[in-house]
């Protein structure tokens, strides 16, 4: 989880990933960032994230992203 927060902060500096729960809904991260995040995550955790996984629910918080990664592993 710490590794995840670190990756996220590198991609999009200045966002409080630990506590935000509406990253997508509030427009904090946008489509370009999502693609960067997804590719970083795939490299870092060795998972395959597809378009079908690109739902707001999966990306609204660091925690939900963590859950998604666990699910896909």
Query: Would you tell me which residues interact with other proteins (CB under 8 A)?
Result: 27, 30-32, 34-36, 38-39, 42-43, 49-52, 54-55
Residue with tokens 């963590």, as numbered in its chain:
66
Closest distance of CB 18 from other proteins, Å: 21
Residue with tokens 């509406």, as numbered in its chain:
22
Q: Which residue, 19 or 27, is less far from other proteins as judged by CB?
A: 27
Q: Which residue, 34 or 72, is less far from other proteins as judged by CB?
A: 34
Q: Are the C-beta atoms of 2 and 9 separated by less than 8 Å? A: no
């Amino acid at each position: 989880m710490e590794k995840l927060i670190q990756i996220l902060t590198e991609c999009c500096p200045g966002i409080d990933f630990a506590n935000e729960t509406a990253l997508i809904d509030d427009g904090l991260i946008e489509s370009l960032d999502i693609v960067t995040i997804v590719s970083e995550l795939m490299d870092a955790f060795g998972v395959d994230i597809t378009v079908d996984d690109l739902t707001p629910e999966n990306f609204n918080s660091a925690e939900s992203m963590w859950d998604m990664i666990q699910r896909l592993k």
